[in-house]
């Protein structure tokens, strides 16, 4: 009797940890990790490069590559696309379903990491950490007065898993926490000590506004020039969710004009639209901006969790099973399983 060939899994992400690799090996998978150039991500690979890597692959653990109908049509062997992350605006869900494949996300893996990152940005901006270091390097050791996070009002836009994690952390600062859900059907997400308000109230009363909503057609540019002008001139904007939630050009103007006091940015429009590159560079040059390169979820622990969840989802599909419902964004094996809207559990 011929020996059963191993299931082939391709990983196109860095920092795939030994434990997750061992999990795949232990479930009969042959794992190939793509060799990416320094600074390169799988979103930088051309379709031809992706097709060459994926030609004889059964499962794909992916980061930010675009999953298109054209790509999927040329990969008949591929059964499952497992995102090591939770956003899936780059996945053509309808095409996945039509191709009979399965697409999953790593729900719950990086919640704590991103929530920590949002708090870190609030503290860094309030205490002027980046500005103080830059002054000291230039020989200016004069004390730059900062502001406490303690006792402040923080507005959370999007109270999904990460937003709720931010709210819980803020309890330790005796903060007043306001929340706004961009979609009415998300209002069932409650957290102790959180006051649900409309967007105008949140913007007008918050000392910090932190974004934790997904990027959808109706949340794009949720924070535009009008929204920024509703904020306090002493307020700070934090975005660790998606670049398209904020009009970066309007944000730059608001910061230059003193309409708001500062911004903490882990995501930028220029990540997907190169015409915003100059805007990003101008934002990075400002002393009242704290910035990171879309690394809010990238801790050792967070990546280990998301790696393992993605691996578990891939193995489940290869075994003919169904991954946890919250992780499945498209299941083409079941024509009746249609994702029509973003469920609460899939919010960032």
The CATH number of residue 156's host domain is: 3.40.50.720
Query: Is 1 a member of any domain?
Result: no
Is residue 57 domain-shared with residue 125, that is, in the same domain?
no
Integer angstrom CA distances of residue 24 from 31, 52, 110, 301, 317:
7, 22, 20, 18, 13
Is residue 17 domain-shared with residue 100, that is, in the same domain?
yes
Last residue of a domain, one of 249, 266, 291: 291
Under a CB-based contact definition with an 8 Å cutoff, are residues 132 and 125 in contact?
no
Query: Is 2 a member of any domain?
Result: no
Query: Is 155 a member of any domain?
Result: yes
Helix (H, G, I), strand (E, B), or coil: what is residue 49? helix
Question: What is the per-residue pLDDT across 28-50, written as a single tens digit (0 to 9) for each?
Answer: 999 999 998 888 889 999 999 99
| Beta-sheet strand order (sheet of 262-265) | 194-196, 176-180, 153-157, 208-211, 236-239, 262-265, 289-291
Q: Which residues contact 80 (CB under 8 A, 6 or more apart)?
A: 58, 59, 60, 101, 102, 103, 104, 313, 314, 317, 318
- Lowest mean pLDDT of 32-41, 138-147, 244-253, 305-314, name the range: 32-41
Q: Is 271 among the catalytic positions?
A: yes
DSSP string, 321-337: ----GGGEEEETT-TT-
What confidence score (pLDDT) does residue 6 get?
84
- The dihedral formed by the CA atoms of 259, 228, 236 and 233, expressed in degrees to the nearest 10: 30
- Using CA atoms, how far apart are residues 289 and 261, in angstroms rounded to an integer? 9
Instruction: Assess whether pLDDT exceeds 50 at residue 2.
Output: no
Query: Is 262 a member of any domain?
Result: yes
Is residue 87 domain-shared with residue 119, that is, in the same domain?
no
Last residue of a domain, one of 253, 270, 291: 291
Among the options 161, 164, 230, 242, which is catalytic? 242
Among the options 89, 253, 271, 345, which is catalytic? 271
What confidence score (pLDDT) does residue 66 get?
94
Question: What is the per-residue pLDDT across 147-191, written as a single tens digit (0 to 9) for each?
Answer: 999 999 999 999 989 999 999 999 999 999 999 988 765 655 567
Last residue of a domain, one of 291, 307, 323: 291
Helix (H, G, I), strand (E, B), or coil: what is residue 54? helix
Is residue 59 domain-shared with residue 102, that is, in the same domain?
yes
The whole model's pTM is what?
Answer: 0.87
Give the closest residue to 146 by CA, choosing from 159, 130, 167, 164. 130
Q: Which residues contact 204 (CB under 8 A, 6 or more apart)?
A: 230, 231, 232
Burial (0-12, 13-18, 19+ Cβ within 10 Å), 46: exposed
Query: Is 265 a member of any domain?
Result: yes
- Domain residue limits at 171: 111-291
What confidence score (pLDDT) does residue 346 get?
40
- Using CA atoms, how far apart are residues 11 and 18, in angstroms rounded to an integer? 13
Query: Is 165 a member of any domain?
Result: yes
Q: Which residues contact 32 (CB under 8 A, 6 or more apart)?
A: 8, 9, 10, 11, 53, 57
Among the options 294, 300, 305, 345, which is catalytic? 294
- Total tally of structural domains belonging to the chain: 2
Is residue 268 domain-shared with residue 315, that is, in the same domain?
no
Query: Is 130 a member of any domain?
Result: yes
Query: Is 43 a member of any domain?
Result: yes
Q: Is 64 among the catalytic positions?
A: no
- Using CA atoms, how far apart are residues 186 and 24, in angstroms rounded to an integer? 35
Is residue 184 domain-shared with residue 316, that is, in the same domain?
no
Under a CB-based contact definition with an 8 Å cutoff, are residues 227 and 245 in contact?
no
Is residue 262 domain-shared with residue 123, that is, in the same domain?
yes
Distance of CA 179 to the CA centre of its chain: 19
């Amino acid at each position: 009797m011929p020996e059963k060939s191993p299931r082939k899994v391709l990983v196109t992400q860095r920092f795939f940890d030994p434990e997750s690799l061992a999990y795949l090996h232990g479930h009969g998978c042959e794992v190939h990790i793509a060799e990416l150039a320094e600074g390169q991500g799988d979103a930088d690979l051309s379709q031809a490069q992706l097709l060459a890597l994926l030609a004889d692959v059964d499962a794909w653990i992916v980061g930010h590559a675009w999953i298109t109908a054209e790509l999927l049509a040329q990969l008949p062997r591929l059964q499952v696309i497992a995102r090591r992350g939770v956003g899936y605006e780059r996945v053509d869900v309808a095409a996945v379903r039509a191709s009979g494949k399965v697409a999953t996300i790593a729900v719950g893996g990086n919640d704590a990491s991103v929530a920590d990152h949002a708090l870190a940005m609030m503290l860094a901006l309030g205490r002027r950490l980046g500005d103080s270091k830059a002054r000291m390097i230039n020989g200016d050791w004069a004390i730059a007065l900062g502001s406490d996070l303690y006792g402040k009002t923080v507005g959370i836009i999007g109270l999904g898993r990460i937003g709720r994690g931010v709210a819980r952390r803020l309890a330790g600062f005796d903060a007043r926490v306001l929340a706004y859900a961009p979609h009415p059907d998300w209002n069932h997400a409650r957290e102790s000590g959180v006051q649900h308000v409309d967007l105008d109230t949140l913007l007008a009363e918050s000392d910090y506004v932190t974004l934790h909503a997904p990027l959808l057609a109706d949340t794009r540019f949720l924070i535009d020039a009008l929204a920024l002008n509703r904020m306090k001139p002493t307020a700070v904007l934090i975005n660790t969710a998606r670049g398209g939630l904020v009009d970066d050009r309007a944000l730059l103007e608001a910061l230059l004009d003193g309409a708001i006091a500062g911004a903490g940015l882990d995501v930028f429009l220029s990540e997907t639209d190169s015409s915003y590159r100059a805007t990003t560079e101008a934002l990075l040059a400002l002393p009242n901006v704290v910035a990171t390169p879309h690394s809010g979820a990238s801790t050792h622990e967070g990546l280990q969790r998301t790696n393992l969840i993605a691996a578990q989802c891939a193995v489940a599909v290869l075994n003919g099973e169904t991954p946890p419902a919250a992780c499945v964004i498209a299941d083409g094996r079941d024509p009746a399983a249609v994702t029509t809207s973003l469920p609460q559990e899939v919010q960032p």
